[in-house]
Amino acid sequence: MSEDGKLHDEAEEIRHDTAKGAPEVAEHDRVAELEQQLEEAKSKALYAAAETQNVRRRLEQELQQSTSYAAAGFARDMLAIKDHLDRALAAVGDDLRADKTASQFLAGIEATARELDAVLQRHGVNRIKTIGEPLDPHRHQAMMEVPSEEEPGTIVEEMQPGYLMKDRLLRPALVGVAKKAD
């Protein structure tokens, strides 16, 4: 066999081997591509599941908060009524308290005020401490400065009580704050 014949036979053999290997290479590439698509799909599915879980948790938290604080507007309105009752009782003089008829009437108003306090407390509405406390701008609203021997910034007077509902501010306390005496 001539040199050309040998080269021709070798070329045929290489072509034949390449033709046999080509489907395997193509199939291997296709499998790798499918595996990559499968990984991407798994990743997207995990991301979607995590996002769904986060949305569910957020909705549950919002539902719990809206349930806990649903009565906040109503409680805020009831505080105005409580203020009126407290002012009315504070305005009653000793002469009216000494009168038998008026004292019975006052006893009823005081019982109503106590019941209102109890209802507010049952629903998590509590009065904010003020006198002697340092001013907290998240709970107190300073209305004036009062010359005092107390530490500057200490609350020395309360004009209107403030209230919290659980951990939320319903209404800030209106207070007078100590300043250095002149």
For the segment 71-120, what is each residue's pLDDT rounded down to a tens digit? Answer: 888 888 999 999 999 998 988 888 888 888 888 989 999 999 999 999 99
Q: What is the pLDDT of residue 135?
A: 93
The last residue of one of the domains, among 68, 94, 112, is 68
Structural domain that includes position 103: 72-180
The last residue of one of the domains, among 68, 101, 116, is 68
Residues 61 and 130 in one domain: no
Q: Average model confidence (pLDDT) for the chain?
A: 86
* CATH number (domain holding residue 169): 2.30.22.10
Residues 102 and 114 in one domain: yes
159 membership: H or E segment, kind and range: strand 155-160
Residues 3 and 26 in one domain: yes
Distance from C-alpha of 4 to C-alpha of 9, rounded to nearest angstrom: 9
Distance from C-alpha of 46 to C-alpha of 44, rounded to nearest angstrom: 5
Q: How confident is the model at residue 4 (pLDDT cuts 50, 70, 90)?
A: low
Residues 99 and 11 in one domain: no
Residues 88 and 47 in one domain: no
Q: What is the pLDDT of residue 23?
A: 58
Question: What number of other Cβ atoms are within 10 A of residue 23's Cβ?
Answer: 9
Residues 76 and 30 in one domain: no
Q: What is the pLDDT of residues 35-68, one digit of tens each?
A: 899 999 999 999 999 999 999 999 999 888 887 7
Residues 113 and 164 in one domain: yes
User: What is the largest distance, in Å, between two alpha-carbon atoms of the chain?
Assistant: 142
Average pLDDT over residues 8-25: 62
Residues 81 and 160 in one domain: yes
Q: What is the pLDDT of residues 124-158, one digit of tens each?
A: 999 999 999 999 999 999 999 999 888 899 999 99
The last residue of one of the domains, among 68, 84, 102, is 68
Residues 9 and 85 in one domain: no
Q: What is the pLDDT of residue 96?
A: 85
Residues 30 and 89 in one domain: no
Distance from C-alpha of 20 to C-alpha of 24, rounded to nearest angstrom: 8
Contact predicate 155/137, CB 8 Å: no
Residues 34 and 85 in one domain: no
Residues 96 and 64 in one domain: no
The number of domains in the chain is 2
Q: What is the pLDDT of residue 32?
A: 87
